[in-house]
Amino acid sequence: MGNEKHAAKLAVLVKELTDASRRKAKDVDLIGLGIGPGSLTGLRVGMSFAIGIASVNGAKIVPLNSLEIVAESIPYEEVVVIRKARKGYVYFQIFPHWKKPRVLDIESAEKEIRKLKIPVVVGDGKELFNFRKFPDYFDYPFPEALIDLTIRNSDRAVEYTEVNPLYIQKSIAEINFEKREGIS
């Protein structure tokens, strides 16, 4: 994943996966889907693709916290997952302590990390901090972690019409609109 543009490769990757497993996309009956937080465009592309498959073949979707998928891959007691958000902010969650991700300014995020005993920091926002970091390889979800979380949370599967992104910050367009309109 990372900086690659998987939107252009998504259909090809699914075809390779189904070919390797000797299955067809129509055989898929459960889809694990990272719904955010993350890049708004990336979320929309991934969600649209998954919803498209689910709508055609009747598959259910298990909506998953994208930061949790990353943390699932890290064999460590305290994991801090940090993804870049808008300038000066990060998407931030401490596993296993926090149940939900947050958007924090960089200074507040650093204070939260300092409260931990021996944290490991991962994610594309880790470069903003001077703490022990796992290699870049761990910054994005492992497919195995997505599969494991999907199976463990299959009881939360929903119809494709019920899937919503996990937006925890306003878009730049919303912020600019509120500035123009004097809304705070």
Dump pLDDT digits (tens) for 129-149.
988 888 999 998 898 999 999
Question: Per residue in 28-53, pLDDT tens?
Answer: 899 999 999 988 888 889 999 999 99
- Asked if residue 89 has pLDDT above 90, the reply is yes
What's the mean per-residue pLDDT of the chain?
90
Q: Which two tokens stand for residue 142?
A: 């492992």
Q: Has residue 68 been placed in a domain?
A: yes
Q: Are 71 and 64 in contact (CB under 8 A)?
A: no
What pLDDT score was predicted for residue 3? 52
> Taking the CA of residue 82 as centre, how many other CA atoms within 13 Å lie in the half-sphere pointing to its CB?
29
Q: Is 122 domain-assigned?
A: yes
At 1 the pLDDT is 45
Q: In angstroms, rounded to a whole number, what is the distance separating the alpha carbons of residues 143 and 126? A: 21
Instruction: State residue 184's pLDDT score.
Output: 67
Residue 1: inside a domain, yes or no?
Answer: no
Beta-carbon count within 10 A of 153 CB: 14
What CA–CA distance (Å, rounded) separates 52 from 47? 8
Residue 41 falls within a domain, yes or no? yes
* Residue range of the domain that includes 125: 6-181
| Whole-number Cα distances in Å, 54 to 20, 40, 118, 168, 178 | 20, 21, 41, 25, 36
Residue 103 in domain: yes
Asked if residue 60 belongs to a domain, the reply is: yes
| Cα separation, 64 vs 19, whole angstroms | 25
Question: Could you count the other beta carbons within 10 Å of the beta carbon of residue 10?
Answer: 15
Give me the CATH number covering residue 75. 3.30.420.40
CA distance 67 to 109: 15
Specify the number of domains making up the chain.
1
Task: With residue 146 as reference, give the H or E element that holds it.
Answer: helix 143-152
CA 179 to chain centre: 29
How many CB atoms neighbour CB 152 within 10 A?
13
In a domain, 31, yes or no: yes
- Asked whether residue 113 is assigned to any structural domain, the reply reads yes
